[in-house]
């Protein structure tokens, strides 16, 4: 990396000629992460509002491109690690995210459940224990007061505030369950996101391997297929198999991104909407 060239390019960022600025920006963007420290240092030393804004935009573009590339790699690799995928989306808004802190927070909840888990416990008993630790001990709950807040979709913020929407709470809950070898997975129900407790050993044609469902937004309430039938009738939506079966991690991330797009649309944040739509496209190619 040519430090003198970078320093010279940064000095030219306040050039009023749009073509020259675009050329300089492209050159700096080509350096990627390596140039961020220099851009941030220049921002701290500058008193020029226009130059500071251009430096901020450059840093954001580099960090956004990183998130986009990481999401594409996650998707192309099969999207097996849900936590990894949701952390990439988290980094879109919080590029300096301390991922280790989030992983440790989730591990702490898992450990507290594991310490009280009995091997011979039934599926219902296991869920009741998870519910006790998740809601009563750690204090997680649905954010009913400000459901449209985009912060409900960022894992770091949900772990901090202990409040989230249906899908963010379900993501944390299912990740913890799966770390404990408990087969709980997300189900993409219209206007709601729920979890299913699966059991391949007791699979029947009627229940498709689902023992029961869990409403994470309602304190881990346990319910059955008939409740989904009734819910769909109320919405006047024809039942489809995908409304009852676990969905892929990619589908979960798509729904998180759509929720964020909807939240930012309501807030009038057009640039964020555009950027998130591009991230969504990565998962649809």
pLDDT (tens digit, 9 = 90+) per residue, 145-187? 888 899 999 999 999 999 999 999 999 999 999 999 999 999 9
Residue extents of the structural domains in the chain = 3-76, 95-247
pLDDT (tens digit, 9 = 90+) per residue, 196-222? 999 866 544 345 789 999 999 999 999
pLDDT (tens digit, 9 = 90+) per residue, 226-252? 999 999 999 999 999 999 999 999 999
Report percent pLDDT > 70 for the chain: 95
Query: Domain 3-76 falls in which CATH fold?
Result: 1.25.10
Q: With helix as H, strand as E and coil as C, how does the chain read?
A: CCHHHHHHHHHHHHCCCHHHHHHHHHHHHCCHHHHHHHHHHHHHHCCCHHHHHHHHHHHHHHHHHHHHHHHHHHHHCCCCCHHHHHHHHHHHHCCCCCHHHHHHHHHHHHHHHHHHCCCCCCHHHHHHHHHHHHHHHCCCEECCCCCCCHHHHCHHHHHHHCEECHHHHHHHHHHHHHHCCCCEEEECCCCCCEEEEECHHHCCCCCCCEEEEEEHHHCCEEECHHHHHHHHHHHCCCCCHHHCCECCHHHHHHHHHHHHHHHHHHHCCHHHHHHHHHHHHHCCC
């Amino acid at each position: 990396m040519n430090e003198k060239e970078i320093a010279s390019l940064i000095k030219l960022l306040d050039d009023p000629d749009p073509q020259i600025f675009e050329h300089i920006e492209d050159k700096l963007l080509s350096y990627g992460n390596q140039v961020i420290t220099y851009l941030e240092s220049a921002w701290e030393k500058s008193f020029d509002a226009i130059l500071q804004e251009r430096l901020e935009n450059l840093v954001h573009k580099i960090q956004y491109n990183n998130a986009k590339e990481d999401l594409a790699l996650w998707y192309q690799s099969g999207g097996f690690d849900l936590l990894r995928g949701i952390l990439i989306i988290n980094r879109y808004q919080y590029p300096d995210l301390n991922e280790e802190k989030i992983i440790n927070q989730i591990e702490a909840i898992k450990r507290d459940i594991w310490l009280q888990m009995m091997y011979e416990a039934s599926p219902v008993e296991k869920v009741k224990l998870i519910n006790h630790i998740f809601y009563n001990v750690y204090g997680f709950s649905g954010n009913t007061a400000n459901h449209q807040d985009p912060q409900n979709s960022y894992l770091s913020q949900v772990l901090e505030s202990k409040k989230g929407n249906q899908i963010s709470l379900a993501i944390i809950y299912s990740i913890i369950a799966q770390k404990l070898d408990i087969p709980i997975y997300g189900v993409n129900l219209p206007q709601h996101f729920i979890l299913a407790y699966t059991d391949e050993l007791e699979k029947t044609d009627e229940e498709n391997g689902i023992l029961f469902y869990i409403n994470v937004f309602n304190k881990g309430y346990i319910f059955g297929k008939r409740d989904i039938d009734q819910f769909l009738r109320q919405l006047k939506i024809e039942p489809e198999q995908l409304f009852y079966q676990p969905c892929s991690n990619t589908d979960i991330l798509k729904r998180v991104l759509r929720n964020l797009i909807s939240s930012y649309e309501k807030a009038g944040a057009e640039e964020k909407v555009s950027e998130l739509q591009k991230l969504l496209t990565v998962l649809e190619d």
